Amino acid sequence: MQEEQILTVLKEIIDPDLNRDIVSLGFVKNIHIQNNTLKFDLCLTTPACPVKEEFVSKAKDLLNNSFKFDDITINLTAVNSPNRSVRGSNDHHPLQGVRTIIAVSSCKGGVGKSSVAAHIATELAGRGFRVGLLDIDIHGPSLPALFQINRIQVETNDQKHVIPVERHGVKLMSFGFLLGDAPAVMRGPIISQYVQTLLFQTDWGTLDYLFLDLPPGTGDVQLTLTQTVPVDGAVIVTTPQNLSLIDVSRGIIMFEKVKVPVIGIIENMAYFECPDNGKRYDVFGPSACEQFKRRFGVETLGQLPLNPEFQRIDPSVRHPAIVDLVDQTVRAIGKGVVAKHRTPQMHTDATHLHMNWSQDEQISVPFRRLRSSCPCAVCVDEITGQRRLDPDSVPDDIKPLKIIPLGNYAVGIEWSDGHASGIYSYEMIQSLTDQK
Ligand SMILES: [Zn+2]
């Protein structure tokens, strides 16, 4: 069967982010062979996948080496988000054409979250993707200022849907457009109503990415928002100077509650780049990326410099740090889509925790070793990173009472010694495994 031979050849292409071949990842679909021409779909995890051109040229090279087709057509598509249904709405809602929804959040105000969201959206639009950005920061809509839009008369279409304002290829909608200069003193229910209007009554059309600029914090408003909207993933924006691991962990836990995977952390205002000599100064102290990774298993997607120009969107200026951040973000979204289906099976025996992703990906870790390696703030000093827990103090017969999966990257464990504050990333657990 030629189709199988084609798949065997394509198996040589490995996705660098997922470390698996594109065939077993299910990316190759709808193979058609007719009159000595070959056609198939390459279905990627995210439309802006930065390695897609590489996949196509590699696939063509490999196929041309093995077969003699007159023509090979590879149609690039992206996975449709599986849960794009909206609670309490009818079949034709304005989010139907939206492929991926990403929440941009921060645990505190003043970290430049809106500016980061706007820059990511504009960069993606510049690359030819259909992008929307919704500013639901009720307390201070910043989108009008970032895109220098004032006095907008919002218009509606025949279905009474609000038409978003388009700037630099990005479809924009903001509380600021509806409120004008009026101060936004609003309480929960009204906020929720406004959000519904902005989200479900806006004519988004077809979008590859819709970014939601959430209000800062991890309170009820944020929780409700992420429950109302079918969000595919969240990024958390933070800065080194008001760095608090506790804040970030609060953010992660909030998204966990509503089953939204945190795809990464963005460190804004991470350094200062001197315009005179291009030198980089870490004026706000060292980066916390390593700590985020070690403690929560969450990657840092990028670090952005402190730059007054970032307060205004100007697509003619492409800062390398933003280009790089967008590459990493898009890859992380793609990973998240696959990882959704890759939560391990877990079971325990008298002494070990066993985790099993597939037949050739199984690990086992002794309870005592896992408990002794707890990365929480009680067991490890937040500032120095030094271990506070004396491993000898962990009882020999320690065992987990409850194991709570946290998204697709970690578990929380309640131990028989009463300790329950640790988040154990799969990556960290893998580093403790018996089978090396
Ligand atoms: Zn601990």
pLDDT digits (tens, 9 = 90+) for 259-303: 788 889 999 988 888 878 878 888 777 777 777 777 777 888 999
Residue pLDDT, tens place only, 301-325? 999 988 888 888 988 888 899 999 9
Distance CA 179, CA 186 (A): 12
Structure-block tokens of residue 344 = 């391990």
**Separation of CA 389 and ligand 1 centre (Å):** 8
- Contact assessment for residue 184 and residue 215, using Cβ atoms and an 8 Å cutoff: no
Report residue 91 CA to chain centroid gap: 27
243 vs 210, higher pLDDT: 210
**Separation of CA 386 and ligand 1 centre (Å):** 13
pLDDT greater than 70 at residue 341: no
**Separation of CA 171 and ligand 1 centre (Å):** 45
pLDDT greater than 50 at residue 91: no
**Separation of CA 144 and ligand 1 centre (Å):** 44
Nearby residues of 205 by Cβ (< 8 Å), 6 or more positions away: 97, 130, 171
Structure-block tokens of residue 97 = 């054409």
pLDDT greater than 90 at residue 247: no
**Separation of CA 388 and ligand 1 centre (Å):** 9
pLDDT of residue 436: 46
**Separation of CA 107 and ligand 1 centre (Å):** 23
**Separation of CA 346 and ligand 1 centre (Å):** 21
pLDDT greater than 70 at residue 435: no
pLDDT of residue 80: 58
Nearby residues of 57 by Cβ (< 8 Å), 6 or more positions away: none
Q: Check residue 100 and report its DSSP letter.
A: E
Distance CA 405, CA 364 (A): 16
Residue pLDDT, tens place only, 56-90? 999 999 999 999 999 999 998 876 554 444 444 44
**Separation of CA 105 and ligand 1 centre (Å):** 26
pLDDT of residue 338: 64
**Separation of CA 371 and ligand 1 centre (Å):** 8
Q: What percent of the chain has pLDDT over 70?
A: 89
pLDDT of residue 329: 92
Mean pLDDT of 158-183: 82
pLDDT of residue 302: 92
Please report, as a single letter, which amino acid is at residue 119. Answer: H
Of the spans 290-299, 357-366, 395-404, which averages the highest pLDDT?
A: 395-404
pLDDT greater than 80 at residue 143: yes
Closest CA relative to residue 429, chosen from 371, 370, 351, 379: 370
What are the Cα distances from residue 200, in Å, to 137, 163, 215, 235, 303?
Answer: 16, 12, 18, 22, 33
pLDDT of residue 86: 43
**Separation of CA 382 and ligand 1 centre (Å):** 12
How many residues make up the chain in this entry?
436
pLDDT of residue 252: 83
The DSSP annotation for 219-271 comes to: SHHHHHHHHHTT--EEEEEE-STT--HHHHHHHHHHHHHTT--EEEEEEEEEE
**Separation of CA 423 and ligand 1 centre (Å):** 8
| Ramachandran class of 409: left when φ > 0, alpha when ψ lies in -120 to 50, beta otherwise | alpha
Of the spans 94-98, 253-257, 318-322, which averages the highest pLDDT?
A: 318-322
Mean pLDDT, the chain, whole residue set = 83
